[in-house]
Each structure stands twice: as C-alpha cells, then as structure tokens.
C-alpha cells in the first residue's frame, strides 16, 4: 500500500515534524478538556431545568396527584419514574418540594398513597443510617438507580 500523499520536509526544517506531533498532542488534550468541561456544565443545567419543570408541575398543577398525564404524553410518564426516587431533586434548589406537595394535597387525597407515590417515608423524619458499613460494594448498593436511569 502506497500512501495517498507524501509530505517532504526540507532538511533545514527538520524540527517541523516534532512541532507538528507536539501540536497534535496538545490539540487532543485541549479538545478532551473542553469536552469534559462542556459535559460538566451543560448536562447538569439540562437536568436542573427538567427537575424544575417537574417540581413546579407537581407542586402547582398537582400533576400525578390531582390529574394524570395524557396517555400519549410519554415525557410525563417517563418523569413519573423519577418522582418516587429518593434522591429527587438533586440539582433543583428546592429540596423540600416533596414535603410541600404532600402537605398541600394530604387534606384532599390519601396521605399514604401520596407518600408512596413521592417515595417518601410515612413520617417526615428519616432515620439516620449507621456509617459503619463503608466500601465499594456498599456504595454500589446505595446508588439511586431509578434516578440515574432517568
């Protein structure tokens, strides 16, 4: 196999081969750094916006409690998966949105069914876990997979 294109560099410019290799390496490193930076900035922003939209629909419109989404609204049915996750909301600033929703709708609807749908304990206090079990296996077991899949 002959190469399609051959570049001949004059002997006076022998250093150009090394400069081009170094520039290619630096370009790859900078591109990877930009890609990682983009991922760390853009993805959490998109997740925050989605969590905010779900939390507001849940709190103010009573979606999933007072009314169910349309059958053809797949996005809302997919979002119903994350509402019962224990770690929802992660990026949204209002961490007590579930408590507000439960307090708002508990007079009209069954307290236990609302707590079950929101993935909350029946009481407002949660038991603190014993910190004695640590390790990689314990970390994997305690990942909120429902939220991660969403």
Residue in the structure block whose two tokens are 């909350």: 120
Tokens matching residue 143: 């990942």
Predicted pLDDT of residue 131: 52
For residue 25, count CB atoms less than 10 angstroms from its CB and return exposed for 0-12, middle for 13-18, buried for 19 or more.
exposed
Predicted pLDDT of residue 132: 56
| Backbone phi, psi, residue 65, to 5° | -110, -65
Give Rg (Cα) of the chain: 26
Beta bridge partner(s), residue 63: 67
**1 confidence band (pLDDT: 50, 70, 90):** low
With 80 as the cut, is the pLDDT of residue 130 above it?
no
- Per-residue pLDDT, averaged over 33-49, amounts to 88
The residue among 64, 67, 79 whose CA lies nearest residue 114 is: 64
In angstroms, rounded to a whole number, what is the distance separating the alpha carbons of residues 39 and 136? 25
In angstroms, rounded to a whole number, what is the distance separating the alpha carbons of residues 65 and 73? 16
Is this structure's pTM higher than 0.75?
Answer: no
């Amino acid at each position: 196999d002959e190469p399609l294109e051959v570049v001949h560099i004059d002997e006076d410019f022998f250093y150009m081969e090394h400069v081009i290799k170094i520039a290619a390496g630096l370009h790859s490193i900078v591109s990877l750094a930009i890609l990682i930076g983009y991922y760390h900035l853009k993805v959490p922003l998109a997740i925050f916006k989605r969590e905010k939209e779900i939390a507001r629909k849940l709190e103010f419109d009573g979606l999933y409690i007072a009314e169910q989404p349309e059958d053809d609204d797949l996005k809302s049915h997919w979002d119903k998966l994350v509402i019962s996750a224990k770690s929802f909301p992660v990026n949204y600033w209002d961490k007590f949105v579930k408590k507000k929703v439960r307090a708002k709708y508990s007079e009209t609807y069954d307290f236990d069914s609302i707590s079950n749908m929101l993935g909350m304990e029946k009481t407002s206090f949660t038991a603190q876990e014993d910190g004695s079990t640590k390790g990689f296996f314990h970390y994997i077991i305690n990942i909120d997979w429902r939220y991660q899949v969403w």
